[in-house]
Structure formats: structure tokens, C-alpha cells
Amino acid sequence: MQLFANADFAPPPSLRLRRDRAERILNGLRAAVVFLLTAAALMYAPHLSRALNIANILVLAPTLAWTVAQYLIWYRRPELPDWLSAVNPIVDVTAVTAIIGGYAVAQSGVLALRSPIFLMYFVVLAGRPVASSVRKAALISALAFVEYAVLLAWLWASNRIPISVNPIDAVQLAHITPLDEAAKLVLLAVFGIVATYATSWVEHLVREASKESAERQRVVTRLVQSELDTLKLQLNPHFLFNALNSAMALIATDPPAAERMVSELSDFLRLVLSTSSEQEVPLERELGLLDRYVAIQRVRFQDRLTVSCNIEDGVRGALVPSLLLQPLVENAIRHGISPRAGAGYVQVSARRLGDKLSITILDDGVGVRARRSRERSRGTGLGLTNTTTRLIHLYGDSHEFESGPRDEGGYAVRITIPFKLGRVSPGRNVSELNETLATVVKS
């Protein structure tokens, strides 16, 4: 895996949030370390020379001020500035280098190079995989190596460190051996490479996880789409079989009526096929399909059925599931109006409730007991069941579906879905459509 093969990799929001959280935690640790170093400097101040105390103040005071300032300026924001994850480790590495150099100038180069403050380089690099990108990690790693190498070269060139090649002599004479410092540089280089590689590996894992998640989402979407298509395909033959059964029943008693029903059925199916590839269509188009369906039913019921439509202004263009109204109206006619001896009505209404669209289909049919008995005996209910399933797939928890008996008698179905506007085709307005639905059964 190449370290910079993913230079153009855009981290997903989840990774950005985790890096932001890691940077906040690291800054908290940075503040704790600086406070501890400041406390230690104050404790040792009486025993240190004036020059060493000045070196501590010159390094610790700006670092502490910068650390505290971050909390006051940026920590109330949802996300920290992106550049902060690069500036903070640069400040930390430079502060470590500065305090080593300050000790060398104020007291002794040997004391400075043997100070455990050198280990802070590794602490800074250890936080890179969780808080930085690959380029930032590589930059900080290179900066730590270069700064310490430059510091060594400056101390050697200014004769601030006595050198002994023999490590034993270096310890006894309080000298510095080049082997020890070379080993430190090697360790810095190796640790920097490891930190950069670890950062690259984290980004690689996140990238692969993001791809897999996106692929799983696409598969789930395709499965849901296939299931929705299957449900729609089930609705078409369900209605077709019912209509053909009605036409067959009329052939023996009223052949002209049967012929008209088949003609209206062909017009209806033509409109259904025009929307077969769409899961959502404007409400106006659904009302047009309902118009054709009522025209089919008028052949059978004639003046026994009245269908009215009450559509609020401004909701004709709202998107609804295709083939939503026809199965619900068919259930109302088939299981509510058909068993009645006298005439009955079905009312379809739609109105906007804030960011929701409310659709109601109610009838004055035989009531819930006779309706359930009829549904069980004839094995129906496919249209209502498929409609409910489609609403769940399309809207999840963003929809409501209620059905039950009315106090006045009959049955009601109420649907609430998110209000979304689609493209409304020019044509009849609501009053024209309402007049058509109200009069089509009375020709």
C-alpha cells in the first residue's frame, strides 16, 4: 500500500468527527502536560539557575497560552478548524526543540541532550494516526527529524557539546557520543515512518469501509426497489382479475355493458403502463387514474355509486406513491358498497398539514364486521396489504396509516406522508376533476 496513493481521498463525515474528537482529547492531554511541566518548573525554580528559569518561561508560557486560547476561541464550534491538527503538533515539536536548545544555551549541551524531554517527540508522533491525515503525519514526522538534526548540528558547530566516540568515556567524562545521537535520529525516523504508515492504514481502512457501506446501501436500495416493483406488479393483475370477473358477469346479462367495461379497462391499463417505472407521481395523475377506474365501475354499479373528490388547493402537485388511490377506492367499493342493497358513496380528500400530506378515503358501506367477514370469505385484501407495505418501504417512520370504522357508519382509511412537490402536468383543475368524478357514475 502506497502512503500517498490516497492523497485525494476525501474523508467521510464520520472520520472527520473522530479526528476532531481526537484533536480535542490530544489538546486536553497537551494542556495537562504543559501544566505539569509548568508546575515542575516552579518546583525546581529555586534550585535552577536564572538562565534555566528564563528558558522554561520563554518556552512554557507561549505554549500554555496557545493551548488555553484554543478552548476560548474554537472549542464552542461543532468542529475545530482543519488547520489546527497541523499547527498543534508543529507547535509541540518546535517547543520540544526550543526547550532542548534553551537548556543547552543556558546551562550545558550535555544536560540538554540527556534530558528526558526528548521523549516528547515520540508522544507527539504517537497521536498522528488518530488526529491527522497522511500528509500531515508525514510533515510532522519530517519536521521532528529535521529540527533535532539541525539542533545537533548547531550544538556541534558551536562547540556546546564535548564529543567522545567511546560511549563509556562519554558517560564518565559527561560528554556526548555521536552513536547515541545517531541512534536517536534513527529512532525518530523509524517512529515517524511508522506513524505515517499507521495514519495511511487508518485512512485505507476507512476508505474501504466507506466503499463497502456504499455498496451495501446500493444493494439494499436495489432490493427495496425490486420489492416495490414486485408489489406494483401484484396490484395490476389484482385489479385486472377483478375487472375481468365483473365483465364476464355482464356478458350474459348485458353484453353492451360488458363491452364498455372492457373498453374503459383498456384505457385504464394504458394509463397505468405510462407510470409503471415511477414509484412516486403527482397526486393529479393519481386522480386521473382514479377517474378512469370510476368510469369502469359505473358500468356495473350505475346510479348505486357516487364518488366525490375534495382536494385542497396547492396539493395537486404533491408526490404520492403510484397506484395509491385505486386499490383503496377499490377496497371501499368492493367490500363496503358492493354488499349494500342501496346506493353508497366513496369520498377521497387530500390536504396539507404543515410538512405532511393527509389523504383520506372513506365510505358509508356495510361496516367493519361485514367488511372483515367478506374479506376473509373471498380471500381479498391484497391491495390494502401491498399499499401498506409500499408506504413502509418508501417512507419508513415518516408516514402514518390508519384504517377502521367510522362513527357514522362505513369505513375510513387515513394516510399521512411527507409533503413533496413534483411536476404538475397542465390540464384539468381540481373543480373539473371533482365534477368528473362526481358525475361519471351518473351518466
What does the DSSP assignment read for 362-385? EE-SS-HHHHHHHHHHHT--HHHH
pLDDT at 378: 45
- CA-based R_g, the chain, Å: 39
Q: Collapsing DSSP states into helix, strand and coil, what is residue 77?
A: coil
pLDDT at 345: 87
Pair type for strands 344-353 and 305-311: parallel
Cβ–Cβ < 8 Å for 161, 110: yes
| pLDDT under 70: residue ranges of the chain | 1-12, 219-239, 242, 272-277, 341, 367-384, 423-443
pTM confidence score: 0.50
Tally of CB atoms within 10 A around 398: 12
The Cα–Cα gap between 437 and 308 comes to 6
The Cα–Cα gap between 6 and 12 comes to 13
The Cα–Cα gap between 247 and 423 comes to 36
Q: Which DSSP helix (H) or strand (E) runs through 405?
A: strand 400-405
Cβ–Cβ < 8 Å for 394, 321: yes
State the sign of the Cα–Cα–Cα–Cα dihedral 308, 413, 235, 239: negative
The Cα–Cα gap between 267 and 46 comes to 100
pLDDT at 227: 59
pLDDT at 375: 47
Hunting for cell 557520543 — which residue is that? 177
Inter-axis angle of helices 430-439 and 283-301, to 10 degrees? 20
Best CA proximity match to 326, nearest among 236, 422, 246: 236
pLDDT at 368: 63
Q: Collapsing DSSP states into helix, strand and coil, what is residue 349?
A: strand
Backbone angles phi, psi at 362, to 5 degrees: -130, 155
pLDDT at 400: 92
Backbone angles phi, psi at 28, to 5 degrees: -65, -45
Cβ–Cβ < 8 Å for 241, 283: no
